[in-house]
Amino acid sequence: MIAQDTIVLSNQPAAPGYFRMGLTCVTGFDTAKPGQFIMVRTGTDGTPLLRRPFSLLGLIREADRVTGIEILYRVVGKGTERLSRCRDGDRLSLIGPLGNAFIVPEDCRQLVLVAGGIGVPPIRFLAQSMLEREGDLHRCVVFVGGRTKDDLVCLTEFDLPGFLLDVSTDDGSQGNQGMVTRSLEKALDAGPVDLVCACGPPGMLKAVSAIARERGIACQVSIEAMMACGMGACLGCAVKVRDDSQHYRHVCVDGPVFDAHRLAW
């Protein structure tokens, strides 16, 4: 984990209310993994004071070196609004990479990924990283859901060799009509699946976890919590786990990726 000043390479609208930002990174991200996140100071003048957490959407490589990172964010408040006003060349202070990552075991053959709304970034990074993997991944299905078609961001990024993409919107404006979990259930009932990895709103993650659990399928979820420090110091990001003597874990240092079946939903 490294604190550094970075330079904004790009900051473009990706969909209504969503922006995709590229940042230079001098050092520290060569081994960054899908699921990890950064804490960014969103303004160039020191306000808001607290950094904001964002998952890695991907790494920018030049030759064999990682020279930058990308994030995808939705404008929801003061910090993300400030971020959306950044121009190419602006300097932003960040800390990262932070937290843990999704772990797809070597013997995983059938992988299912689920992204809801702004849960796309770590799932997109994970899908991309599966392409580089040596081994025997036979099948990877990606389920992406949003309230409307305007909430489907970076869909073309999942157009990857050997991947199946299944899209749902609550209002039916694109893909299947209904919640992404309905399509997921059908797919899990249709054939064997070794692992489900998901990121999205808490309600969706709870449902995905229950669906996987009922079928005895391993499930990893990347969850969010309000974060002040991102480094285990403020203890503000506690989540309850079961079967654990400590009862609570901290999303910033013990997560953000958790075994879904160990969380007390």
Ligand X SMILES: Cc1cc2nc3c(=O)[nH]c(=O)nc-3n(C[C@H](O)[C@H](O)[C@H](O)COP(=O)(O)OP(=O)(O)OC[C@H]3O[C@@H](n4cnc5c(N)ncnc54)[C@H](O)[C@@H]3O)c2cc1C
Residues at the contact surface with ligand X, assessed by CB under 6 A: 37, 52-55, 71-74, 76-80, 118, 121, 224-227, 256
Chosen from ligand X, ligand FES, none, partner binding at 250 (C-beta under 5 to 8 Å by type): ligand FES
Query: Could you tell me if 73 and 13 are in contact, meaning their C-beta atoms sit under 8 angstroms apart?
Result: no
Shortest CB 80 distance to ligand X, Å: 3
Q: For 156, which DSSP code?
A: G
Sign of the Cα pseudo-torsion (96, 256, 113, 111, in order)? positive
Chosen from ligand FES, ligand X, none, partner binding at 78 (C-beta under 5 to 8 Å by type): ligand X
Chosen from ligand FES, ligand X, none, partner binding at 236 (C-beta under 5 to 8 Å by type): ligand FES
Nearest alpha carbon to residue 82 among 69, 94, 70, 73 = 73
Query: Could you tell me if 252 and 232 are in contact, meaning their C-beta atoms sit under 8 angstroms apart?
Result: yes
Chosen from ligand X, ligand FES, none, partner binding at 232 (C-beta under 5 to 8 Å by type): ligand FES
Cβ closest to ligand X, residue 48 vs residue 192: 48
Cβ closest to ligand FES, residue 15 vs residue 228: 228
Residues in contact with 76: Cβ distance below 8 Å, sequence separation at least 6, in sequence order: none
Binding site for ligand FES (CB under 6 A): 227-230, 232-237, 250, 252
Distance CA 38, CA 235 (A): 17
Shortest CB 44 distance to ligand FES, Å: 23
Shortest CB 214 distance to ligand X, Å: 27
Cβ closest to ligand FES, residue 98 vs residue 140: 98
Backbone angles phi, psi at 130, to 5 degrees: -65, -25
Chosen from ligand FES, ligand X, none, partner binding at 121 (C-beta under 5 to 8 Å by type): ligand X
Cβ closest to ligand FES, residue 38 vs residue 208: 38
Query: Could you tell me if 6 and 91 are in contact, meaning their C-beta atoms sit under 8 angstroms apart?
Result: yes
Beta bridge partners of 238: 250
Distance CA 135, CA 210 (A): 29
Distance CA 253, CA 265 (A): 19
Chosen from ligand X, ligand FES, none, partner binding at 254 (C-beta under 5 to 8 Å by type): none
Cβ closest to ligand FES, residue 211 vs residue 263: 263
How much of the chain is helix, strand and coil, in % rounded to 5? 25, 35, 40
Shortest CB 77 distance to ligand X, Å: 2
Cβ closest to ligand X, residue 28 vs residue 108: 28
